[in-house]
Amino acid sequence: MAEAPARGPFAPGWTARLIARPGFQRFAARVPGLRRIARAEGAALFDLMQGFVRSQVLMALVELRLLHRLADAPATAAVLAPGSGVAPERMQVLLQAGAGVGLLKRRRDGRFALARRGAAFLGVPGLEAMVRHHAVLYRDLADPAAFLRGESEPELARFWPYVFGAAAADDPEAAQRYSGLMADSMALVAADTLRSVRLKGVRHLMDIGGGTGTFLAAVGAACPDLELSLFDLPEVVAGAPPVLRGAGIAGRVTIHAGSFRDDPLPEGADAISLVRVLYDHGDDTVAALLRAVHGVLPPGGRVIVSEPMSGGARPDPSTDVYFAIYTLAMRTGRVRSPAEIRTALADAGFAETAPSRGDRPYVTQVMTARKAVSAA
């Protein structure tokens, strides 16, 4: 016979049920100690509700290049409107909203200027391109219930053809689009990865799924004596030589074209990096890739996994929201917690796993592991 659910003031969930009562909320709004909490929670709920509008304000500021224009000099809505094709009264609404979200600031004379947050936005490589790219994700989430039921066909899955293997990535235009967006967003990832990893003692680093070599360019600058290799799809690495020449490391990098799904990995490296690779793929693909990486590394060789990771038992406000939904729309990968990645590495034969949360988990987190010295 099923056990009756616990009742009374201390039954599981009683706090949530109490707070959800309109009468309790009215009571809390009158009590000095609870009033501050009630107001803070109310403001947080309103921010959550208006989040979509805030992101669209950002999109409009980017599309109309208003942040760039205001970086040159403060201006009024009347000055900015003609060059944007937006009526002055509507431009005023947008500028007020931009100031409301902290990207702009309104001066006493009525002109708007770039705030520190807006200036920081312009200083982040690839951020504008990613915001423009979000138009695809917005369309995919137009009906979130249908999206989560799997009843819609996400456009984002078609945007990233490479995740379905080399056979689906034979469109040079699609490969160029993917490579450009990844290269633009890699600068912060590379910087945070290299702050979390020491490459002392490494002789040869191979970057798998490394795109056009942006991460290797950062590694090459930080480690001038390190031998480097790049492995990615033929359509992708075709764009690598100009990047490597621009970084001054073309003579140090060996380029290997192939798919880690279908082709054997090159040998010779004593360290392999997987930067924002695993979360693009399903568990079976990840398991096969890690086994292949383990197979080509020498005893004592290292693998470096760098990507946004789930908070696991303590859900993260960025990775468990943005990246989890994004990868769901891609229909192929998922965000994994450090514990899950550690397990996957152990299952592939790796030992000595070491996580590093880093300063900005919304950019990347790092997990390293070694192949046992006694391994054959």
pLDDT, averaged across the chain: 88
User: Are residue 219 and residue 110 in the same domain, yes or no?
Assistant: no
User: Are residue 212 and residue 355 in the same domain, yes or no?
Assistant: yes
pLDDT at 130: 86
pLDDT at 376: 46
Which CATH number does the domain housing residue 75 bear?
A: 1.10.10.10
Which CATH number does the domain housing residue 283 bear?
A: 3.40.50.150
The answer as to whether 151 is a domain residue is no
User: Are residue 201 and residue 88 in the same domain, yes or no?
Assistant: no
**Count of alpha carbons within 13 angstroms of residue 350, beta-carbon side:** 31
The set of residues, in sequence order, having a beta carbon less than 8 Å from that of 83 and lying 6+ positions away, is 69
The answer as to whether 175 is a domain residue is no
Rg of the Cα atoms in the chain: 25
- Pick the residue with more confidence: 344 or 176? 344
pLDDT at 209: 93
Q: Can you list the alpha helix ranges (DSSP code H) found in 65-171?
A: 66-72, 77-84, 88-100, 116-123, 127-140, 144-149, 155-159
The yes-or-no verdict on residue 324 having pLDDT over 60 is yes
Mean pLDDT within 169-178: 56
The answer as to whether 73 is a domain residue is yes
User: Are residue 119 and residue 192 in the same domain, yes or no?
Assistant: no
The answer as to whether 136 is a domain residue is no
pLDDT at 226: 96
Quick one: residue 128, left, alpha or beta (phi over 0 = left, psi -120 to 50 = alpha)? alpha
Comparing CA positions, the residue from 297, 231, 279, 284 lying closest to residue 258 is 231
Mean pLDDT within 236-251: 93
How far is Cα 253 from Cα 239, in angstroms, rounded to an integer? 14
pLDDT at 46: 82
The answer as to whether 181 is a domain residue is no
The answer as to whether 131 is a domain residue is no
The answer as to whether 164 is a domain residue is no
Give residue 265's domain range.
187-371
pLDDT at 172: 58
Angle between helices 127-140 and 172-196 (to 10 degrees): 120
The answer as to whether 81 is a domain residue is yes
User: Are residue 214 and residue 357 in the same domain, yes or no?
Assistant: yes
Mean pLDDT within 136-160: 91
Given a contact cutoff of 8 angstroms between Cβ atoms, the answer to whether 194 and 219 are in contact is: yes
Q: Is 362 exposed, middle or buried (0-12, 13-18, 19+ CB in 10 A)?
A: middle
pLDDT at 186: 83
Final residue of a structural domain among 107, 123, 139 = 123
User: Are residue 199 and residue 91 in the same domain, yes or no?
Assistant: no
The yes-or-no verdict on residue 117 having pLDDT over 90 is yes
How many domains does the chain divide into? 2
User: Are residue 208 and residue 298 in the same domain, yes or no?
Assistant: yes
pLDDT digits (tens, 9 = 90+) for 182-235: 666 788 899 999 999 999 999 999 999 998 899 999 999 999 999 999 999 998
Final residue of a structural domain among 123, 138, 162 = 123
Given a contact cutoff of 8 angstroms between Cβ atoms, the answer to whether 110 and 76 are in contact is: yes
Final residue of a structural domain among 123, 157, 175 = 123
pLDDT digits (tens, 9 = 90+) for 330-365: 988 999 999 999 999 999 999 999 888 778 888 899
pLDDT digits (tens, 9 = 90+) for 48-89: 889 999 999 999 999 999 999 999 999 999 999 998 999 999
